[in-house]
Structure 1
Amino acid sequence: MKLIKHLLLHVCIITFVLSCAKEENTIESQTFKVDFEKFTLDNGLQVIFHVDRSDPVVAVALTTHVGSAREIEGRTGFAHLFEHLLFLESENLGKGGLDKMSARIGGSGANGSTSRDRTNYFQTVPKDALEKMIWAEADKLGFFINTVTDQVLAKEKQVVKNEKRQGVDNRPFGHNSYVIDKNLYPEGHPYNWQVIGSLEDLQSATLQDVKDFYNRWYVPNNVTLTIAGDFDTAQAKLWVEKYFSEIKRGEDIPKMEKQPVTLSQTKKIYYEDNFANVPRLTLTWPGVHNYHPDAYALDVLATYLAQGKQAPLYKAVVEDQKLSDRVSAYQYNSEIAGQFMLQVTAYSDTDLQKVLSGIEEGFAKFEEEGISEAELKRIKAGQETDFYNSLSSVLGKGFQLAQYEIFAGDPGFVNQDVKNILAVTPEDVMRVYEHYIKDKNFVATSFVPKDQKELALEDSRLAEVVEEPIVDGAEETFDASLTTDYEKTPSSFDRSIEPPYGESPEVKVPVVWEEELSSGLKVFGIEHHEVPLVQFEMQLKGGMLLENPEKTGVSNLLAELLTKGTAGKTPEELENAIEMLGASINVRASRESINIYGTSLARNYEETIALVQEILLQPRWDEKEFNLLKQSTLAQIERQKSQPNSIAELEFNKLIYGEDHLLSNDNLGTQASVNAIDLEDLKAYYTDNFSPNITKFHVVGSITQDEVTESLLDLNTNWTSRAVEFPDLPEPEAPAASKVYFYDIPGAKQSVLRFGYPALAATDADFYPATLLNYRLGGGGFASQLTQQLREGKGYTYGIRSGFSGTNLTGPFQISSGVRSNVTYESTSLIKEILENYGNDYNEKDLEITKSYMIKSNARAFETIRNKLNMLTDISNYGYAVDYARQREAVVRAMTVDDMKALAEQYITPDAMIYLIVGDASTQLNKLEQLGFGKPVLLNE
């Protein structure tokens, strides 16, 4: 939970041996082998190697078998706090640690995540930086703790507390997990508290507490090092031994015994949520731990109950009773216990007692009908595709190897894991339902809007949740610039010398093929045979651009409706046809296009494309589905009104483009516009604007150009071209002078910042140079000044970024962040100061770091199928050359400091920008006048 959460791995559905449907009632195992080598150092460090030479990159992951479950009450949040601390500094990397090094070596950005049971640290780098990464990871493990001082701890406490405010306190339903776990797990159970901990525990943590935690758990015999990618294993083993072997083994780590829970009674709890404007019901039953024999059938049960048109809970709650637009069911399984969860976010003013009745009706339907072999086959087909997707990067492979090692005791557990998946029968699914769910006690949480407690389940008691008050000057102060002398940990060699680069990797720019069919359909493709998958995207130009401004939202509703059946297939039949192939087909509308996205197993690509053609050319125009989608869209619009980030995005677009500009609208529409739309509007948009001559098809995967062309022949023949007119949009005007705008959310624990102005299109000559300019400002993560000063220097925020976001149309330069509410003015003033000085202070070091990152990171640019698909999109949309990545290297190398200063003068304009703040006006509004931009404008007065 550092800045971005990568790869939430659902281990129950990810395996290294695959299943594929052969006949109705039989499944044939096919081996998809992932070779690995495992060895253990004398100090207990477990090391796993996996070689993959498809791209010149290496993923390195250090996984520590410690999460929040190893904490004690009153000292919670330590595991997650360490996830932050270990990126800051170590004895030999120096200040900035791995984050600073990452920018130089072209890494993906050092990142990490914490769960109940483990903390991991990971990054993908060009292969020439492998020794540097091994050196750095060893430094974190054995040469780190002396660098943590009172000042460092005080600062990072603020960062973590800001993360909690952003992810929990300042969002609808943010406290739901806390309430569930407090009531599901008894006091003293390791899962009774949250991974992120409490604000009080974090604040009271002492430096000695932190050192004791580190010395107990961050020891080699509690750590697994995984290296996956293009590297020499013999050389890597020597490096691992050199840098890790002299780190001392710690005390023996006791095994965590399983601690399943039972409930003696059903618990019903409600909470009036300050940010929610619709009610949510969550039901939680005690479940099972990871790899429990029943986990596999419970996973199938969750999928079958809630996902898809035929799911019994979907039919009862969404279609029949129209209480919500979706139902979700899933397992949250961990090392020593687990839980089975069911969640419904209802429509406005819906009594959650009715939702519970709908759930019970769905259960009754399931009890009566069970799950068929055909449905089981459908679910398992999806599991196969999910598995292949998880292996599309070397990091994904490395994660899975570590997961099995730590929680199953052996990466080779994969064979038993897949046997357990393949062994699930319909009878197993019904058995686990009856054993864990039917007539069993559960925890029910009703989160309802303020002053609407009557919507909660009957006989619910009030949840105990502590809300943080907004108080100026309440936070502990610190000086991040202070340094403290410490005695360095002895070593047998000089670890302060950073290892050299290895041999420079040769960047593998994929071979792109292009073709234009007779209908005008343009096709762009890349062959990629690493995994037997195909991903594609069909992009129809238009989207919101072609809508009647009085009826915005038409393209979104049309996109959603296209997958709700065809002329020849009911919605259920179409869904089944897609899922039986192990495929996915989704249609989404944006401001500038309607896109059909798909993934399929390579062997099922042709059948998948036939379904895409049917969806595209034979829409069903189902009135019932249209009404359900319309109601769902209205609910989404309503929910956005309670989400500070959504509010900020919508209001910022209005300010950037002007109220009357088409692009100032949300492509969902407004409640008024959506209510005005009928099915005939969708048909008219489809008839007037769907045409192959404004469509591009991008495809990447284990398939040839000839096979792709063959698959599109019928579509090319049967899809008639027509002339489509696009509106001439007025160019948005940058403000002549800066102005501050404020949107009031009473009681907000954070202020959401959106600062910027209309800047550049992606096709402008200066667009790429401007992105280079922005790298050291706010585009380079921890290499950026905004992050270094607002997060690392002041502890005001969990994250901040800036960037240029143009397309074929002019887009904004934008700075975005969420900051602690009581430093709203201070944060805004500091950002303004950074912008004012950025061009003048830009120097050779800034340019060197920028060049190093931009050139070296090209080794990672095309690793995954998704990376390659994005490449095709850029080429086709913006007219970039096929080898634009190499051409950009020349641009980077030619840049000078004077070039950057000139760009900064033109495009970094703090005195001619829009400053939008979404937060608590009663405490923060008036102070913003001190910025010197006049009296702030209150937008929702």
Structure 2
Amino acid sequence: MTTRFPLLLPFLCLFSAGVTYAQTRLVEKVTRQGNELVIPYEKYVLPNSLTLIVHEDHSDPIVHVDVTYHVGSAREEIGKSGFAHFFEHMMFQGSDHVADDEHFKIVTESGGTLNGSTNRDRTNYYETLPSNQLERALWLEADRMGFLLDAVTQKKFEIQRATVKNERGQNYDNRPYGLAGEYVAKNLYAYGHPYSWLTIGYIEDLNRVNVNDLKNFFLRWYGPNNAVLTIGGDVTAKQVVALTEKYFGSIPRGPEVTKTQVPTPVVDKDRYVSYEDNVRFPMLQLVFPTVPNYHPDEAPLDALAEILGGGKNSLFYKNLVKTQLAVQANASHPATELAGQLAMVVLPFPGKSLDSTEAVVRRTLAEFERRGATDDDIAQFRATREADLINGLSSVSGKVSQLAAFQTYLGNPNYLPQELKRYKSVTKADVMRVYNQYIKGKNAVILTVYPKGKPEIVAKPDNYTVSTANYKAPDYGYNGLAYTKPKDSFDRAVKPGPGPNPALKVPPFWNDKLPNGIKVIGARNDEIPAITMLFTIKGGHLLEANDPSKAGVAQLTASLMNEATQNYTNEQLNTKLEKLGSSIDIRANTEEITISVEALIKNLDSTLALVEEKLLRPKFAQDDFDRLKKQQLELISNQSTQPVVIANKAYSKLLYGSANIRSVPLSGTTKTVETITLDDVKAFYKNYLSPSVTNMVVVGDIEQAAIMPKLAFLSKWAAKPVKIPTTPAPKKIDKTRLYLIDKEQAAQSEIRIGYLTNMPYDATGDYYKAALANYMLGGAFSSRINMNLREDKGYTYGARSGFSSTNTPGPFTAQAGVKAAATDSSVIEFVKEITNYAKSGITEQELAFVKSSLGQSDALRYETSLQKAFFLSRIIEYNLPRNYVEQQSEILRKITKAEIDAVAKKQLPINNMIITVVGNKQLIKPGLEKLGYELVELDKEGNVLGSSTTPADVPAGGAPAKMSSGKKN
């Protein structure tokens, strides 16, 4: 029910810290009636036009704060692209009352998490914290809204400019197909259209801008009248309004902001464009202009995209993937505030020209036109969207994000019921109408991404050049902007303290066991009418140690279990699942095969019937096997184009040695997968998938007494003994060596530094204490490694370190993707930070930060069903006591600097580590040679160049780095 308050409430006075404010306007109050899909809230408007939305949810002692500014890259102009995103970075660099880099530190120290994001149309900043930290979060957000500019310095500007460049390098320039979106945008939209460039912007534009440009951008768009403050969680509206008035009430309005008006994109002919990339699979994209989000035709266009290429029963999957013409084929309909586009993406297998791929796409569209949308298509689409909307409400952050988006774009936070209605109202006629209106006979941007040296495979020669004619730069009103600071009657320099600590408790859970040995653990979560189930079948890739020549068979087995069963084709299974709004996903991992299940409670029985099919009656059809084996082989070949994958593979091979199955990728190698037969898959399933090594986690809106009888079908699964092979102990690293792998023309270098520890996972012993010790070295955003390489030097978008063990000891690893020119300097800084931490240990101030941050973060750990499931999975996997969280809290509370220092000294042997670097050898090798290490060159498979010797057989080590060598910082 919605209650609206169109007038000012008479003398709505709020009192906080001796300050009185009046005339905050309560606009409406929305409450839930029965089981309707509604997010309850109260909406207010402050005198400075800041919109405040408050959602009360007292189920967990947390609060989520979101400030959304209605400014994204669509408010930029030619020559100044990337500004909105760049400014997002600057908003974390301190303000008048918050020191440099303190924003992250304060929130993390308070037990919270935080971030920001920018898209075409908006920028948002958000924190999730224990609810007693609400005032601190509002103080932080208000300070950067009202007091930012005097704290912006040239040094901060340059560091964040470097960070944004690194982000572009990591996520776009150094990633396969990373520039595809950029090519589509500039060729789909007219020159100067605010969607004709990506949010990340162009490097040359980032190089061009200055601090004054940045300040004007803030003054133009970052006023309270262009912002929505949305707060949800264990709070009251009265409390939130009082604090909002205190911290935001005096911030003056900014210039007026009006909705951007742009012409609808018109594509006058098929625009063929192409570019070369370091990829194995070519890419073909057909992109048609459509409608903005919330347009009446958006929902049927979404349905059309699902029918054409949304899953395993889509037409593209049938005609391109199942026929082994492509490794991937899909369609999607991303729509944003000013425009939308229906994109069809195909990655065909190598060796064919893309004109033949385009022909298959065109024939598929003609097939859809003849066939039309079916009743099943519509039922699947409606059920899937309903489930998506419900699952999006599982967390306070999810609900807050929905309210903020609806208010920002529509001015109506209570749009969720209409959102559900418009998707559940889609008809077959609607889908055919939008197909005829936006796709049939219409022109598109047709992009080919072709592998190096193969321009001849493009679909058609490029025939379009962007025209700059008739472009007129918009006048956004940057002239004459002035910075007016708020005036307060309280001292903003005083950082608010926390409120009373919220009551924290581990969610209650139950244990059970099925007759065939499956151990079950579960918890009730009644916040949404849904259920999450997770089966963990131990073994996975580790079982391939019994026959390493068949490495990759675990992944093939899991892939085939996602296909047809003895009673249903894959298409029939997917139709059933989508009509239920459910999902069943089977995956192989290093130590287990997992089956994850998501379902609405009302459809649980029907979903479990399909779980029974997939788990107990897989068909293992020869044609499915042939197709999936071919895909796996092609994906293995494709790994050599990805620097991150190359680095991880080589590093694992160096860590574990060739005698350990962990040195072989989960996917196997070309040599091993080529030998795998369908009989090998059947044997793996028969011999190794057993209830005797299976754990099951159940979290949802159902009690133990109700769920256990529904699991009776699992008793049909006969138990058998399964022995997990033991892995050989690795050879000790005698000294640190540097291993270099060439990735020609790489924009960034991937660095991995570490060694294999002797610590298995332990929730309350040495392993837990090592994680505490690492938190300030490389675990937190404000850790030494990240602050050095990202915030101080600008070498990377992010750097980190950590320990990673299971029941068997795992590695300590420090890692980052860094700009190529700073590769040797980055290695020096990594080594310096690890060396200093091992030598001098943690400071008392850092120890206090660790205790405060980790000691309060438990409030955030158990909110959603998925979080509860992971928590319970850890308990059952490692046989942890019910009170292990309390034990950890006690260890954290009592741990001393001397204990942390001892752990760091013991667990960070910098002179006995592996350093792996993947990058452009021609550029980075000279600098690396000066570091004083023995340098060993490897190929992309991790083998020593010019030798058949594998790295595991090479004596590990090298001299310690000389801190004075390499480039000056």
Q: Please give the residue correspondences for 1:674-685 in structure 2 after superposition, counting only pairs within 5 Å.
A: 674-685=673-684
Give TM-score scaled by structure 1 length: 0.93
How far apart are 1:883 and its partner, in Å? 2.7
Query: Alignment partner for residue 133 of structure 1, among 129, 134, 137?
Result: 137
Q: Which amino acid aligns with 2:50?
A: L
1:244 pairs with 236, 244, 248, which one?
A: 248
Q: Note the 1:373-384 alignment, pairs <5 A.
A: 373-384=375-386
| Counterpart contact for 2:313–2:575, Cα < 8 Å | no
CA contact (8 A) 2:740 2:935 kept: no
Superposed CA deviations along residues 553-592 of structure 1, whole A, max 9, x for unmatched, are 1111111111212111121222222222211001000111
Instruction: Measure, in 1, the Cα distance between the counterparts of 2:762 and 2:688.
Output: 24
Name the structure 2 match of 1:23: none
* Matched residue, 1:719: 717
Structure 1 residue 357: Cα displacement = 1.1
Query: Does the residue aligned with 1:792 lie in a helix, a strand or coil?
Result: helix
- 4+ residue runs over 6 A deviation: 486-489
Could you say what the CA RMSD is over the residues aligned between the two structures, in angstroms? 1.7
Judge conservation of contact 2:373–2:431 (CA < 8 Å) in 1.
yes
Instruction: Report matched runs for 1:13-52 at 5 Å.
Output: 31-52=36-57
- Is 1:232 matched up with 2:233? no
| 1:289-332 Cα shifts (integer Å, max 9, x gaps) | 01111000000011111123331121111223x22122121112
For residues 787 and 906 of structure 2, what CA distance do their matches in structure 1 show? 24
* Residue in structure 2 matched with residue 423 of structure 1 by the alignment: 425
Amino acid at match of 1:571: N
AA at the equivalent of 1:145: L
The one-letter amino acid of 2:259's match is K
TM-superposition CA deviations, 1:229-267 (whole Å, max 9, x none): 011210110100010010000111122125321111110
Structure 1 pair 256–161 and aligned structure 2 pair: CA distance change class (3 A) = same
1:672 Cα deviation after fit: 1.8
SS class of match (2:334): strand
Q: 1:281 aligns with which of 281, 284, 290?
A: 284
- What is the letter of the counterpart of residue 298 of structure 2? A
Instruction: Output the CA distance in 2 between the equivalents of 1:208 and 1:308.
Output: 48
- Distance of 2:732 and 2:437 partners within structure 1: 63
**Which of these residues, 168, 183, 186, is aligned with residue 164 of structure 1?**
168
1:78 aligns with 2:83: yes
Contact 1:308 1:314 in 2 (8 A): yes
Q: Which residue of 2 aligns with 1:272?
A: 276
Q: CA 1:660/1:350 → structure 2, altered by over 3 Å: closer, same or farther?
A: farther
Q: In 2 relative to 1, CA 607–374 (structure 1 residues): closer, same or farther, beyond 3 Å?
A: same
1:57 aligns with 2:62: yes
Equivalent residue for 1:531? 528
Partner of 1:105: 110
Alignment of 1:493 onto 2:490: yes
* C-alpha spacing 1:462/1:17, structure 2 compared with 1 (3 Å): farther
Q: CA deviation at 1:95?
A: 1.8
Equivalent residue, structure 2, for 1:513: 510
User: Structure 1 residues 488 and 335, CA, compared in 2 at 3 Å: closer, same or farther?
Assistant: closer
2:865 is aligned with 1:861: no
Distance across 2 between alignment mates of 1:315 and 1:690: 30
Structure-1 separation of matches of 2:937 and 2:527: 55
CA contact (8 A) 1:17 1:418 kept: no
Alpha-carbon shift at residue 929 of structure 1 (Å) = 2.6
Q: CA–CA distance in 1 between the matches of 2:415 and 2:383?
A: 21
Task: Please give the alpha-carbon distance, in whole angstroms, between the structure 1 residues aligned to 2:737 and 2:487.
Answer: 56
Determine the structure 2 residue equivalent to 1:740: 738
Cα deviation for residue 422 of structure 1 reads: 2.2
Partner of 1:435: 437
Give secondary structure in 2 for the equivalent of 1:314. helix
Distance in 2 between residues matched to 1:736 and 1:873, nearest whole Å: 37
Measured after TM superposition, the shift of residue 754 of structure 1 is: 1.0
Secondary structure in 1 matching 2:629: helix
Kept in 1, the 8 Å contact 2:385–2:423? The answer is: no
Q: SS at the partner of 1:503?
A: coil
Deviations 1:835-879 (A, max 9, x none): 111130421111100000111001111011111011111101112
Q: Partner of 2:646: helix, strand, or coil? A: helix
Report the CA distance between 1:769 and its aligned residue: 0.5
TM-score, length-normalised on structure 2?
0.90
Residue-pair matches, total? 890
Asked whether the 8 Å contact 2:292–2:340 carries over to 1, the reply is yes
2:306 aligned with 1:309? no
Gaps of 5+ in 2: 1-29, 467-482, 946-969
Letter of the structure 1 residue corresponding to residue 102 of structure 2: G
Q: Give 5+ residue unaligned stretches, structure 1.
A: 1-15, 19-28, 465-485
* Pair 417,719 (structure 1): closer, same or farther in 2 beyond 3 Å: closer
Match of 1:578 in 2: 577
Q: Contact conserved, 1:862 with 1:868, CA < 8 A, in 2?
A: yes
Q: How far apart, in 2, do the equivalents of 1:299 and 1:734 lie? A: 56
Q: Distance in 1 between matches of 2:732 and 2:36?
A: 58
1:606 Cα shift? 2.4
Distance across 2 between alignment mates of 1:50 and 1:757:
47
Counterpart CA distance in 2 for 1:487 and 1:96 is: 24
Partner of 1:117: 121
CA contact (8 A) 2:311 2:330 kept: no
SS of the residue 1:770 aligns to: helix
TM-superposed CA distance for 1:621, in Å, is 1.5
Shift in Å at residue 734 of structure 1? 4.2
Worse-matched range after superposition: 252-261 or 868-877: 252-261
**After superposition, what is the alpha-carbon deviation per residue over 1:862-910, rounded to whole angstroms, capped at 9, x for unaligned?**
0111110111111011122223222210010111000011000111122
1:111 is paired with a residue whose SS is strand
Residue 6 (structure 1) aligns with:
none
- Supply the distance in 2 between the matched residues of 1:769 and 1:462 (Cα, whole angstroms): 60
Percent identical: 38
Distance 1:36 1:487 in 2: 32
The CA distance in 2 between the partners of 1:684 and 1:652, in whole Å, is 31
Counterpart Cα distance in 2 of 1:488 and 1:291: 37
Of 741-750 and 613-622, deviating more is 613-622
Paired AA for residue 36 in structure 1: Y
Matches within 5 A, 1:186-197: 186-197=190-201
Equivalent residues in 2 for 1:692-731 (5 A)? Answer: 692-716=691-715, 718-731=716-729
1:406 to 388, 408, 426: 408
Correspondence for 1:477 = none
Q: Which structure has more RCO (C-alpha within 8 Å, separation ≥ 6)?
A: 1
1:554-569 to structure 2, matched below 5 A, reads 554-569=553-568
Match of 1:297 among 273, 297, 300: 300
Q: Which letter does structure 2 place at the counterpart of 1:86?
A: M
Paired amino acid for 2:271: K
Give the deviation of 1:450 after TM superposition. 0.8
Distance of 1:489 and 1:48 partners within structure 2: 22
- Aligned: 1:456 with 2:458: yes
One-letter code of the match for 1:743?
I
Give the match for residue 788 of structure 1: 787
Q: CA deviation at 1:665?
A: 1.0
Question: 1:930: Cα distance to partner?
Answer: 2.6
Instruction: Provide the rounded CA distance (Å) in 1 between the counterparts of 2:382 and 2:50.
Output: 36
Judge conservation of contact 2:110–2:856 (CA < 8 Å) in 1: yes
Q: Tell me the CA shift for residue 660 of structure 1.
A: 2.5
Counterpart Cα distance in 2 of 1:278 and 1:191: 27
Amino acid of the residue matched to residue 918 of structure 2? V
- Kept in 1: contact 2:162–2:795 (CA 8 A): yes
8 Å Cα contact 1:734/1:913 also seen in 2: no
How far apart are the structure 1 equivalents of 2:298 and 2:40? 26
Change in CA separation of 1:489 and 1:220 when aligned onto 2, cut-off 3 Å: closer
Secondary structure at 2:194 match in 1: coil
Note if contact 2:193-2:262 (Cα within 8 Å) is conserved in structure 1. no
- Is the 1:55–1:508 Cα contact (8 Å) retained in structure 2? no
2:960 — aligned with what?
Answer: none
1:172-191 correspondence runs (5 A) = 172-191=176-195
Partner SS, residue 544 of structure 1: helix
How far did 1:487 drift?
Answer: 12
Q: For the residues of structure 2 that align with 1:166 and 1:811, how far apart are their CA atoms?
A: 26
